[in-house]
Amino acid sequence: MAKTVLIRLDVNGEKRELAVPSQRTLLEALRYDLGLTGSKQGCDKGDCGACTVLADGEPILSCITLAADAQDRRITTIEGLAGPQGLDEVQRAFADCGALQCGFCQPGMMLSARALLNSCPKPSLDQIKHALSGNLCRCTGYTKIYEAVQVAAGMRAASDRKPVQSERAEASDSVAHAPKEFAP
């Protein structure tokens, strides 16, 4: 049976004390012991970045970090990103740019973006791509995400691109659309 250990975490500015199995990951402690479900459990093996949180301002993968090893660090989850003034610029920019679809990657993506802007307030596109390269998104195609980081950095305005109009598809089987007559 797993040994239980007593740990102290500093999460979003609050000190929390928990008794957890010694192999409890930080992600499990956040989601299942503290109820902070903003950090997502994607691959659970360090590949997708959905579980990204900040430790002393640096992005880390909470699914491959033991909760016990996070004790001496200031942990910030997506729940702690907004401040007394409201949403963080990164959150606002992602919303303004429509840089999200299903939202599963977004907490990790936004925290990686925040860490980048804290260390490099005016990043180049290559720096943005590099900083977010550990965060996978299966919906957006990344373009709007990169744009959102530039908007959050004050380097451009959110574009007012109209949504792409899809063209009316040809009927795949014109015969099927022709009115049919049935003999009584």
Residues of the shown chain interacting with ligand FES in the complex, contacts defined by CB under 6 A: 41-44, 46-51, 61, 63, 100-105, 137-140
Looking at the DSSP bridge assignments, the partners of residue 55 are: 58, 75
Cβ proximity to ligand FES: between 68 and 109 the closer is 109
Q: Residue 179 CB, nearest distance to ligand FES (Å)? A: 42
Contact 41, 63 (CB under 8 A): yes
CB closer to ligand FES out of 18 and 43: 43
Closest to ligand FES by CB, 44 or 96: 44
Query: Can you state the percent helix, strand and coil of the chain, rounding each to 5?
Result: 35, 15, 50
Closest contact distance (angstroms) between CB of 163 and ligand FES is 16
Among residues 93 and 122, whose Cβ is nearest to ligand FES?
A: 93
Determine contact, residues 12/27, Cβ cutoff 8 Å.
no
CB of 30 to ligand FES, least distance (A): 12
Q: Which residues of 57-79 are buried (b: 16+ CB within 10 A; e: fewer)?
A: eebbbbbebbbbebeebebbbbb
CB of 15 to ligand FES, least distance (A): 25
Nearer to ligand FES, 103 or 154 (CB): 103
Give the nearest distance from C-beta 89 to ligand FES in angstroms. Answer: 19
